[in-house]
Structure formats: structure tokens, C-alpha cells
Structure 1
């Protein structure tokens, strides 16, 4: 079980990566839009510098046709670094590009997955990760959990190296549901994780512990004890 940040915000990545045990960062054009007008390659290199080479960095192409996807993938690999996972939408042209990129030894994340056949094809194409869109699938009355469970069964039974990278969440309940359904990893907005740990019950428990300590030891810390 692994967690990634679905973010391109440098401040959030720097702050929350010190708290949460993440194994990488994912981005896409919609996430980058939130950062305003940026120098794309320089910004992604800054993300890499924050997370290090030991974590995975997933960057999405915007081209829709085979050759354009390959050209953009190579530009990203050349101008950011060669270990980037190239995110490719799981379309017919995308599948063709995934196969070509994998033949070159490139890391590939198959994204924009809504259906079982998309995921199955991406697994067969050799994608390193497949990214089913949990909340968006639910909004279309598609069984997100069932799809993830089916992908996991196929991966386990065939011995495929592909991992399920669940994405598109509106709440933490969806994140835990995806992982319990069989997703290997989940990419989550840092703010959503922060919100989950800010619930009143957690704060009250911490306050109660402090009050109980003070009632017997007074306002001194453990390091101040004689």
C-alpha cells in the first residue's frame, strides 16, 4: 500500500511530504492549471528536487495522437529526467503509444481509466501503473470498487507487473474504499489528507491526553522531569 500526492503545488509538497509517507507525486494539466502560468519544465524539475529520485514522478502528455504523445514523452524525459513516469490517457492512440514507450524502457502510467476494458488493455500493453478515476466513475454510475477488484484479480492471476494507482477522490472514504478493493496505491490531494487528520475527535483525544498529564504532573514536559 502506497500513497502519492496528486499535486503540483511546491509549498504543499514540501510541507506535507514531511508528514505523510508518500512514495511519489502525480500531476496533470488540470492540476497544473491551479498553479497559474508557470515554466512547465522548470516547475516539474523543482517538484523532482523536493521529492528526490527515490520517489516516483508522474507527468502527463497533452497530445492526443500517437506521434505527438511520443514526442511529448521524449521532451519530458529529456528536460525533466529519464525516470519520469509518462502519463498517457488510455485511448486507442494512447495504447499504441504506451506499447512503443514500453519497448523503449520508459515508465508508463495509463490514465483516464473509466472502464474495465481500458484497464485490461493497459495491463496487456505493459503499463507500469493504471489509474482508474474513482469519483468520476461513481458520478457516471460505474462500479469503482468492482472495477478495481477486477483489475487486481487479473494482475494477481496473470502475474502482471502493473500496479493500480487509484485517482480522482472527493473524500477520504473513497480513498480507503479503493485501497480495500485492491488498489496498490492511491494518489490524493494533500489538502484532503490534511482535512482527514483535522477532525475534531482527533484533536479532542490529544487535548484529553494533555489534560490528564497536567492533572498529575503539572505543566512540565517529559524532558523536564527530574
Structure 2
């Protein structure tokens, strides 16, 4: 499949999907808000750092991230709430193995005093659990998505967010960006309200490619978030500005010159 971006206006885009000689322009759903930007981390200090310079919507976590941080969900969320302030959105994953157990766990997560979204793997059992959760109005993110059809089924079950694993798909000789494009097309064609929350990134190019598709949410690991505004040419350019200014005006500030 060839995907060609033909128009971007803010975060509202049109994408031209080409299958052989059959080309159809698909306009993404009108969006009233900018893309939701999350950090994929349990590191409170890094969250404080990036919250100062980025418009973070909140934090995504998973069992592996929490295990590596050596602290539980409640402690992590307390720290994140202090770091972010306001009413951030937190995505936390169930660790139960049956649909009924996932539902019970989701109920408890939903009772936490934050804006919570419950993450559920998009497996057969997970899809069953998602349907049960949505009957109770629980916000759900279908995670561990490796194919467009998998994400599409989760959306049909009522998932509010869909998390395709871009880099993990690439690492399996797939095309993560293409999976996201196909999934966005299915959502648009069927007028499903689920938001793609793209996840699993190794580099900024992957993140940029999926954002150009008009997705509504993305979560970045700390190193990729830092790389988004880090370019080897930036520091030398700023240093040259400082050098030229001081040679001409010394220590005066701009409004004093």
C-alpha cells in the first residue's frame, strides 16, 4: 500500500490511499482539539522536566514499565499527579488473566481519584473484557495491537483508545506506519469514535510518520521525546547568535539595545 500525505491543516489531514490504480481520498474526522501527547514512563523526575516544555496530556504505563521502576501503580500515580498538576489522564494496564477478573480490576482502577483509562490487551479474552467494561462506562485503551484488523475489532467492541506498537511491528519485519494508516482508514470509513494512541517508538522518524496520518494521540518514551527537539545544528546556531550579539552589544538585553 502506498500512503501519500496530500494535505495537513493543523492536526486535520487528508490522506490519499492508493491500492493499485484505485485511488480514494479519505478525509480524517474533524477534530476540535490538538493531538493528545503522552509520555510512556514511570519516571516522575523526567515527567516534571518535560511537563515544563511540552503540553502533556498525561502518562501511559504498562506492567513492564512499573516493574522496572520498582514502584507500584498507586505510588507512581501520586508522583505523576504532583509532577503534572491539573487533571492529567493516566493509562494503566490490567494484569488479570480472565475477562471477569479484568473487569473487577478495571473497576478498582476506575475508582482511583484520577482521570483513568484502563489498558487491556487486544486478545480474545481482552476483547471480551472490553465489552464488559464499556457496559459500565469505563474508559478503555486496547493495547498490544500488531495489526489493523486487531485494532478495528477492539474499536468495534467499544475501546476508546487503540495502541498499535509501531516499532515492535517494524522489528518483526512489518510496517508499523502502514498498520496505523490502515487502522485510521478503517476507523474513518466506519465512523468509529476510537482514537489511535500510537505507541512503541525507537526514533523520531517513526513518530513523525504516524502523526502525519492525523492520529489523535501518541505516547513517547523519554529518549524519543527528548530527540524530538534535539538537532545537532541547533546548539551551534544558538551559540553563533550569542557570539554575534555580545560582539555588537556586550551584555545588554534585546530591549536595552
Confirm or deny a common fold (TM above 0.5): yes
Q: Cα deviation per residue 1:18-42 (whole Å; 9 max; x = unaligned)?
A: 1111212100011112212x24323
Does structure 1 residue 169 correspond to structure 2 residue 201?
A: yes
Once the two structures are TM-superposed, the CA of residue 161 in structure 1 deviates from its matched residue by: 1.1
How has the CA–CA distance of structure 1 residues 115 and 39 changed in structure 2, closer, same or farther, with 3 Å as cutoff?
closer
Once the two structures are TM-superposed, the CA of residue 53 in structure 1 deviates from its matched residue by: 5.2
- Residue 56 (structure 2) aligned to one of 14, 22, 31: 22
Q: Which stretches in structure 1 are left out of the alignment for 5+ residues? A: none
Secondary structure at 1:220's aligned position in 2? Answer: coil
Secondary structure at 2:177's aligned position in 1? Answer: helix
- Residue 80 (structure 2) aligned to one of 36, 47, 55: 47
What is aligned with 2:253? 221
Contact between 1:41 and 1:76, CA under 8 Å: does it hold in 2?
no
Does structure 1 residue 59 correspond to structure 2 residue 92?
A: yes
Once the two structures are TM-superposed, the CA of residue 182 in structure 1 deviates from its matched residue by: 3.5
Q: Cα deviation per residue 1:154-198 (whole Å; 9 max; x = unaligned)?
A: 222222111100000111111111112342221001232223433
Does structure 1 residue 198 correspond to structure 2 residue 230?
A: yes
What is aligned with 2:7? none
Does structure 1 residue 31 correspond to structure 2 residue 31?
A: no
Does structure 1 residue 188 correspond to structure 2 residue 225?
A: no
Alignment of 1:104-143 (within 5 A): 104-143=136-175
My pick for the range that moved more, 200-209 or 161-170, is 200-209
How has the CA–CA distance of structure 1 residues 11 and 116 changed in structure 2, closer, same or farther, with 3 Å as cutoff?
same
Secondary structure at 1:25's aligned position in 2? Answer: strand
Secondary structure at 2:200's aligned position in 1? Answer: coil
Matched residues in 1 for 2:73 and 2:185: separation?
37
Q: Cα deviation per residue 1:71-103 (whole Å; 9 max; x = unaligned)?
A: 21122222x236300000000110011111111
Contact between 1:148 and 1:182, CA under 8 Å: does it hold in 2?
no
Does structure 1 residue 72 correspond to structure 2 residue 109?
A: no
Which protein is richer in strand relative to its size?
A: 2
What is aligned with 1:212? 244
Q: Give the aligned length.
A: 223
TM-score normalised to structure 1 length: 0.91
Does structure 1 residue 149 correspond to structure 2 residue 171?
A: no
Which protein is richer in helix relative to its size?
A: 1
How has the CA–CA distance of structure 1 residues 52 and 99 changed in structure 2, closer, same or farther, with 3 Å as cutoff?
farther
Contact between 2:143 and 2:162, CA under 8 Å: does it hold in 1?
yes
Contact between 1:113 and 1:119, CA under 8 Å: does it hold in 2?
yes
My pick for the range that moved more, 214-223 or 81-90, is 214-223
Q: Cα deviation per residue 1:31-56 (whole Å; 9 max; x = unaligned)?
A: 112212x2432322332343345332
Dislocated runs of 4+, deviation >4 Å: none
